[in-house]
Structure 1
Amino acid sequence: MNKLWGGSQRDDSRPGSSRDAEDDTTPSEHTRLLPNRVESAHYLSPDDPAVTPYNLWSVRVLRWATLLFALLTFAWWLILLLSTFVTPPGFHTRGSGFFAFSYSSLALANLLFTLVFFAIPSKPVRVCSILMGAVLLIDTVLLIAVEKTRYEEGWVGMVSVAWALLMAIWTLVTDRLVQWGKNEEEQRLTGRAETRRTLVEWTAVLVSTLSVVILVIVLILMTLTLILRALDAGLAPPGKLYWVDGDKYRLHVYCHGNQTHSEGMKLPTVLLEGEGPVEDGLWQLADNAINNGSISRYCFVDRPGFAWSDTAPSPLSAGMAAEAVSEALARAGEDGPWVLLSAGIGSIYSRVFSARHGEDIKGLLLIDPLHEELLDGLSDSGRGFLLWIRGILSPLGLDRIPGALFKGRNKEDRVWGQSAYQTGKYIFAKLQENLVAATLSKRDVASSRAIQVQDVPLTVVSSGDQVREHSDWENLQRDLTHLTHQLRHWDIVDDAPHQVWNTIEGREVIEKRLRQLVHD
């Protein structure tokens, strides 16, 4: 045990010593400058390992409680991670699910940093914890107050943000109580509260402060993205939303035009299906076709996760999505007959829909369709991992926030337009597509090809750019012209991109072939 240093320990008490005469004189270099306190002999050095707040049972209880909360948070985080790939019963969120996962990640990181730096409390960390709690309170109010976000996040999102708020408060209280316990033990064992820090302690304070500052910045970005979502909630859908799949989620259905021709004939309704939201491209194409008299009526159903439609539980195959679309149309009172207009991977869903609706299908128009042999590439694990990373980062709004502030992106852009691919719902839908493309979806397409009614008129319009850039694209397009025995036309539009309708010639060819199928 260390003692406080004192003066000389020589024995000057011999009889006759000259020291006797100096006992009551002014202190010299041989005497103590301060009175010798008896209790000071029992104080410890501030650097002694015995000087620790863990001596207090209350501090030890706080640490074990924090560890318990971290384990509970990790279990919740793990469930949310797995629900991205296979949704457990009751854990389906009608949004992307990435926000709930982000809040649980935030809470887990906060608790882990608290455990690592538990015995080294600091004022900057407490200030950041106060700011974190305030921002999380704002997020909680936003999620609850806005009907759209409350509906999409569901109880899973509510629990995640509330738990993150509680853990922010808990870590703040814990840091303050540990600081109190540290001061108490230093006062008791060393005689005063220590204000000095070692280099190791200063490094720990710096790392813990930077860690919590990063968490606060992440949280602020999430809040800004949440505000954008609240603003986007004010954009009403042009059609109506219908419950499907046992009322688990809703799909957006929109129809326009008059199915009855001016001559009293009932013409087929054109059913649109795109690679992403139909609103971004094919919607305008269909409107122009009505205005030009090429068709009389069209409908589209946003697939799960696109535009105004909710996300579906995982896994979701092409067959499951086609069944959900069929159910939504039935609930909307739309029973065909149909001419199916689809583009890219949307042709996969249209082919499944066509095979399952038999005689109700009066024509197939495939625009640069994706062949089922390419589904293996679509399910590439590297692509799936990148989609998952994009989904995890989507609540930060790293692309949406600058787009709204500096590029003039509006609600339409974010819901269904050129910025829709940045939203968590869109990314989640594409991730679902990736997870089962080479398994469940490929099986659905194979079975649909086997049962496809063979007398359905078929037209294929292909991209000239794709044919030139990919050596096997033309052969795969040619194979798709044999889906039925009634191939009417196969057009390769020169200088047209994959989105063939983005060129004037492409739009003219598509509308011409569509008119022929509808009026045949």
Structure 2
Amino acid sequence: MNKNWPHNGQGGRDSGVEGAPAGRVSEEGRPPDELTRLLPNRLDSTPYLSPDDPAVSPYNLWTVRIVRILTVVLACIAFLWWVLLLVSAFVTPPGLHVRGSPFFAFGYASIALLILVVELLFFAAPSRSARVLSLVSAVLLLADTIIILAVHKTRHEEVWVGVASVAWATLVAVWAIVADRTVQWGKREEEERLTGREETRRTLLEWSEVLLSSLALGLLAVAVFLMTCTLTLRALDARLGPPGERYWVDRDKYQIHLYCHGNKLDAHGNKTTTVLFEGGEDAVEWGLWQFAENALQNGSISRYCFADRPGMAWSDTSPSPLSMSMATDALSETLSRAGEEGPWILASAGIGSLYSRIFSSRHNQEVKAILMIDPLHEDLLSRVGDAGHGFYLWFQGVISPLGLGRILGAIVRGRSAADRIWGRASYQSGSTIFAKLQESLVADSLSKRDVVSSRVIQDRNTPVVVISSGEKIRRDSEWEEKQRDLTHITLNLEDWDIVDKAPHQVWRTFEGREMIERRLRKLVKLAGRG
């Protein structure tokens, strides 16, 4: 045992002054006053203190204090960056547009901020476990940085915002290791100077702090691991190319995917009528694409095209806010860049019918007919723009980088890249969720105004066909009323069909597909005679 170690908790030596605080007397032996040195001189380490004395603290060292100040500064910067990315999901500031899922950049910003918060909360309780967990996070974040930069598609989608966010999170994780190691060194240094040896025991409070910090950093390491797995899936999915071409729109801010199939000219050299499909709640590729191919093979139509709305399938996301009118402008620009001029028959489903109606009102001369499959009415946009629905979409987006459903789907259910991009698992994609969130945010305001305006300027002679879901009508009387109203958007109603046993996606039943194809064939012949 160190001969200078205090055995009785009274400073380890006789104070020489009765009633004076043990271990806290001046060199002359008088009681302490305002001029008395509270800590022993570094050159004179004989008057050792108790390890539990508050004066035994790593904060005595300027190095530790500077590290803490720098950590606070980094936390402030991380918070500002986090707030900026949070706001950009609703209103995108200039230069902060992410072409893929903005939730990935937000996720990395959240990881960086939480690491710094944990470091500050438990700054004076360094531990090996905290350093190991921070090292694991740093290695995974470095791997994410490499993946984003190495794969063209992820680099295109994340742009500088995502790259900066993941690189920032990597540096923060490394800084947490440096800060924790510095505090550990300062703690040992002060214990050896003030108590005579490095303290190996911990108080209950210190053990609690170590446990909480390790638990928090462990959860963050798990979150980073899941994000790495999701990013790896995105990189693997990049090998599946789009069937069509992608075109820059909106002053080259993002790209829209367009696919066309069929003959532009008939046997007599005349332009054929092209059916322009617009998806509903899902991408066109999920169901309607196969229907269009079958209709083409059956000779019901001669040619068809479809474009993915921003954020859906192979199209990039657009800056926020994005109204239906703005999305329609992107479609018009895409068709123009691709050299597609119509004439068009618009075939749309669900909420996609609203986009088609806006497109029709702006291209009255080129649009020869409108076919709507269980369309959504503008008066029901309040259901899409409900605040609770919007918050649910935002929460889904925030946790989407963890990819729990996508990872399990790939491992357990054998989900393919096509499933994740446009198929049955596409609703789990961060870009798709963001597209739905953008749609919800302005559904009952900007978008509703766009649709109401389009109804006023719509050509009243355009032929219209409405095909409704019998199941939906039976469940929702308001839906039936609005379906009836949509038959009057022009003065030229060709047919209103109710497919009795069909769901909202009418084409998923044989009777529904037969009805849609029959009406399309009729409209194509009608457009040919015109």
Normalised-by-shorter TM-score class: over 0.9
In the alignment, structure 1 segments of 5+ residues that lack a partner are 10-38
Counterpart of 1:28 in structure 2 is: none
Question: CA separation in 2, counterparts of 1:193 and 1:439?
Answer: 66
Which of 345, 348, 351 lines up with 2:351 in the alignment? 345
Q: Which amino acid aligns with 2:248?
A: W
Which of 76, 93, 97 lines up with 2:98 in the alignment? 93
Which of 62, 71, 96 lines up with 1:66 in the alignment? 71
* Structure 1 residue 133: Cα displacement: 1.0
Counterpart of 1:204 in structure 2 is: 209
Which of 3, 9, 13 lines up with 2:10 in the alignment? 3
Would the aligned equivalents of 1:463 and 1:496 in 2 still touch at CA under 8 Å?
A: yes
Which of 325, 331, 334 lines up with 1:328 in the alignment? 334
Asked whether 1:120 is paired with 2:125, we answer: yes
Question: CA separation in 2, counterparts of 1:170 and 1:237?
Answer: 41
Question: CA separation in 2, counterparts of 1:328 and 1:40?
Answer: 78
Correspondence list, 1:176-215, <5 A: 176-215=181-220
Counterpart of 1:386 in structure 2 is: 392
Is the partner of 2:357 in helix, strand or coil?
Answer: helix
Asked whether 1:166 is paired with 2:151, we answer: no
Would the aligned equivalents of 2:296 and 2:303 in 1 still touch at CA under 8 Å?
A: yes
* Structure 1 residue 507: Cα displacement: 0.2
In the alignment, structure 2 segments of 5+ residues that lack a partner are 1-5, 17-43
Question: CA separation in 1, counterparts of 2:98 and 2:287?
Answer: 28
Q: Which amino acid aligns with 1:235?
A: L
Percentage of pairs with the same residue: 60
Counterpart of 1:447 in structure 2 is: 453
Counterpart of 1:22 in structure 2 is: none
Question: CA separation in 1, counterparts of 2:266 and 2:347?
Answer: 20
Is the partner of 2:365 in helix, strand or coil?
Answer: helix
Question: CA separation in 1, counterparts of 2:269 and 2:474?
Answer: 45
Counterpart of 2:110 in structure 1 is: 105
Question: CA separation in 2, counterparts of 1:193 and 1:341?
Answer: 77
Which of 411, 432, 443 lines up with 2:438 in the alignment? 432
* Structure 1 residue 268: Cα displacement: 1.2
Asked whether 1:471 is paired with 2:477, we answer: yes
* Structure 1 residue 265: Cα displacement: 4.3
* Structure 1 residue 41: Cα displacement: 6.2
Asked whether 1:218 is paired with 2:211, we answer: no
Question: CA separation in 1, counterparts of 2:380 and 2:66?
Answer: 58
TM-score, normalised to structure 2, is 0.91
Aligned length: 490
Following TM superposition, the consecutive aligned residue runs of length 4 or more in structure 1 with deviations greater than 4 angstroms are 4-7
Which of 74, 80, 98 lines up with 2:85 in the alignment? 80
Asked whether 1:414 is paired with 2:393, we answer: no
* Structure 1 residue 322: Cα displacement: 0.3
Is the partner of 1:359 in helix, strand or coil?
Answer: coil
Q: Which amino acid aligns with 1:506?
A: G
Counterpart of 1:363 in structure 2 is: 369
Is the partner of 1:250 in helix, strand or coil?
Answer: strand
Counterpart of 1:284 in structure 2 is: 290
Would the aligned equivalents of 1:454 and 1:483 in 2 still touch at CA under 8 Å?
A: yes
Counterpart of 2:25 in structure 1 is: none
Would the aligned equivalents of 1:303 and 1:309 in 2 still touch at CA under 8 Å?
A: yes
Question: CA separation in 2, counterparts of 1:167 and 1:98?
Answer: 19
* Structure 1 residue 267: Cα displacement: 2.7
TM-score, normalised to structure 1, is 0.93
Which of 311, 314, 336 lines up with 1:308 in the alignment? 314
* Structure 1 residue 262: Cα displacement: 3.4
Question: CA separation in 2, counterparts of 1:475 and 1:428?
Answer: 31
Counterpart of 2:404 in structure 1 is: 398
Deviations 1:57-113 (A, max 9, x none): 110000000000000010000000000000000000100111000001000000000
Question: CA separation in 2, counterparts of 1:512 and 1:262?
Answer: 23
Question: CA separation in 2, counterparts of 1:81 and 1:5?
Answer: 57
Question: CA separation in 2, counterparts of 1:329 and 1:359?
Answer: 15
Larger Rg: 1
* Structure 1 residue 228: Cα displacement: 0.2
Correspondence list, 1:27-46, <5 A: 42-46=47-51
Counterpart of 1:31 in structure 2 is: none
Question: CA separation in 2, counterparts of 1:110 and 1:517?
Answer: 61
